[in-house]
Amino acid sequence: MAKPTPLVAGNWKMNGLNTALAEIEALSGLLGGKDTPACDVMICPPATLLSRLADAADGSSIAVGGQDCHQNVSGAHTGDISAQMLKDAGASAVIVGHSERRADHGESDKTVHDKAVAAWDAGLKAIICVGETESQRDAGETIQVVEGQLAGSIPEGATADNMVVAYEPVWAIGTGRTPTADDVAAVHAAMRAALEARFGAETGGSVALLYGGSVKPGNAVELMGVANVNGALVGGASLKAADFDGIIDAYRG
Ligand code: 13P
């Protein structure tokens, strides 16, 4: 059975001006100057930087992704960006269903599902995010919430090539707090079982499952070492090339 290909992806969120392109050059230099990591590397910048960042990353091992897409291909949706536009700008993937989109823009599982379909139609990999709030965790509902989000957000036709799942507990994002390794293991085991039950052992067993939420160089080795964790979705620590590379270190010898 094919093993998941680990991915360390940086989500810059609403951060990054022209000057941030220097971080890509720095990251490219770090990746080129050290042992090749046993993971794919991606940066998801704000849409304004996408094409310039794709140019800057050209010839390096850094892939570029979007942070969100509209579910339609084109039309009267002021301010929105389609998956096809992201692809056209140089993206190979797009994050859908990030908890900040779910919370700030009221995105439902159905919306996330439709965005993932749009991503696939445009030839992009969908990075589908799930994760419980602190009150859901306190109520003992974590597994149930995550399983429900997976069931509702992942379309039929998912494969290890067109999808990555990211588990991001909402309360761990940007807080410096993380679940214990045992807690991460329990959620990732449940996600793996749900994917295998729905898509079969081969597909379900080979989809990469990322952990996200306060991943830093100092905790990456432990978190990336948890069973069924196949990489990280990194916010704050992806903004500086040296920090991000310190996380990628978890996948070097
Ligand atoms: P932080 O790494 O800043 O906690 O953000 C995680 C995240 O939301 C990545 O998508």
Over residues 78-98, the pLDDT tens digits come to 999 999 999 999 999 999 999
Ligand 1, atom nearest to 13 Cα: 10
Ligand 1 pocket, residues with Cβ under 6 angstroms: 11, 98, 168, 173-174, 212-215, 233-237
Residue-level pLDDT at 179:
98
Ligand 1, atom nearest to 233 Cα: 9
Residue-level pLDDT at 253:
84
% of the chain beyond a pLDDT of 90 = 98
Mean local confidence (pLDDT), 38-56 = 97
Residue-level pLDDT at 22:
95
A 10 A CB-CB count for 246 gives 16
189, 228 in Cβ contact below 8 A?
yes
pLDDT tens digits along 122-131:
999 999 999 9
Residue-level pLDDT at 8:
98
Concatenate the DSSP letters of all residues of 81-117 into one string.
-BHHHHHHTT-SEEEES-HHHHHHS---HHHHHHHHH
83, 94 in Cβ contact below 8 A?
yes
Distance of alpha carbon 123 from its chain centroid, rounded?
17
Distance, CA 75 to ligand 1 centroid (Å)?
A: 31
Name which residue sits closest to atom 2 of ligand 1, judged by CA. Answer: 235
Distance, CA 96 to ligand 1 centroid (Å)?
A: 14
Pull the structure tokens for residue 86. Answer: 């992201």
Fold of the domain built from segment(s) 80-235: TIM Barrel (3.20.20)
218, 191 in Cβ contact below 8 A?
no
pLDDT tens digits along 186-214:
999 999 999 999 999 999 999 999 999 99
Looking at every residue in the chain, the average pLDDT score rounds to 97
Angle at 178 between CA 175 and CA 179, to 5 degrees: 140
Residue-level pLDDT at 1:
76
Q: d(Cα 23, Cα 81) in Å, to the nearest integer?
A: 25
Ligand 1, atom nearest to 175 Cα: 4
Name the residue ranges covered by the structural domains of the chain: 80-235
57 pLDDT band, cuts 50/70/90, is very high
Residue-level pLDDT at 204:
98
Q: Where are the beta strands (DSSP E) in 97-230?
A: 125-130, 163-167, 208-212
Q: d(Cα 188, Cα 32) in Å, to the nearest integer?
A: 31
pLDDT at 169 over 90: yes
Instruction: Provide the whole-model pTM.
Output: 0.98
Name which residue sits closest to atom 7 of ligand 1, judged by CA. Answer: 235
Tell me the catalytic residues: 98, 168
**Which one-letter DSSP state was computed for residue 224?**
H
